[in-house]
Amino acid sequence: MTHNTRAGCLIVAVLVTVSITTSITTPIMTPVIAAPGAPANADDNKKPSVALKATPPLGFAPLKVRVIVDIKGGADDYADFYCASVEWDWADGTTSENSEDCAPYEPGKSAIQRRFTAEHTFREGGDYDVAFRLKQKKRIVSLSKGTVRVKSGIEEEFGQ
């Protein structure tokens, strides 16, 4: 099999995987018309959902992956998500963490961050269950996981 043929197979596999993931994790949203004086969105007082997407979800080592986490729905000032620290567990023995200095929380004024991104390179083949955690101090307030599948690269196969 030539290199071009193998790359074509990889692209097809990635598109199928993304299509399946999207159809499973993307909820169908129905517009809600609020009654006068009611909150604009019925979910404003509920916990937002967290969705993780790795691109590409499949490839050959060494594989550089970009992971995006979107916070959807819920209140823009959801207290547990405001100024939370972020932890990425890459499932290969490494983690990444970051936190920010924020103004004190004010209901109705403080806004949560809605998107987080990170990049990581997987050096060896395997299936990696990547985890994203939002934390308040040591307490995990939200968690999302996704699998990245890494096939052994040429260097790994021939011991170079």
Task: Answer yes or no: is 59 within a domain.
Answer: yes
Mean of pLDDT values over 116-122: 97
Question: Cα(27)–Cα(48) distance, rounded to whole angstroms?
Answer: 13
Question: Cα(92)–Cα(130) distance, rounded to whole angstroms?
Answer: 9
Task: Answer yes or no: is 58 within a domain.
Answer: yes
Mean of pLDDT values over 115-123: 97
| Chain centroid, CA 113 distance in Å | 13
Per-residue model confidence as pLDDT tens digits over 4-41: 444 443 333 333 333 223 323 333 333 333 334 444 45
* Count of structural domains, the chain: 1
pTM for the model stands at 0.68
Task: Answer yes or no: is 15 within a domain.
Answer: no
Mean of pLDDT values over 30-53: 61
pLDDT score recorded for residue 22: 30
Mean pLDDT score of the chain:
78
pLDDT score recorded for residue 153: 74
Mean of pLDDT values over 125-130: 98
Distances (CA, A) of 26 to 7, 47, 70: 28, 17, 12
Domain extent for 116 = 47-157
52 vs 38, higher pLDDT: 52
Structure-token match 């790359």, residue found: 7
42 vs 85, higher pLDDT: 85
Q: Which amino acid is at 127?
A: D
pLDDT score recorded for residue 37: 41
Confidence of residue 45 (pLDDT cuts 50, 70, 90): low
Residue 94 has pLDDT above 50, yes or no: yes
Task: Answer yes or no: is 119 within a domain.
Answer: yes
Question: Cα(27)–Cα(1) distance, rounded to whole angstroms?
Answer: 40
Task: Answer yes or no: is 41 within a domain.
Answer: no
Task: Tell me the CATH number at 52.
Answer: 2.60.40.10
What sign results for the dihedral spanned by CA atoms 78, 80, 86, 89?
A: negative
Q: By the 8 A CB rule, do 55 and 147 touch? A: no
pLDDT score recorded for residue 46: 87
Per-residue model confidence as pLDDT tens digits over 54-83: 999 999 999 999 999 999 999 999 999 999
Question: Cα(143)–Cα(134) distance, rounded to whole angstroms?
Answer: 7
Task: Answer yes or no: is 86 within a domain.
Answer: yes
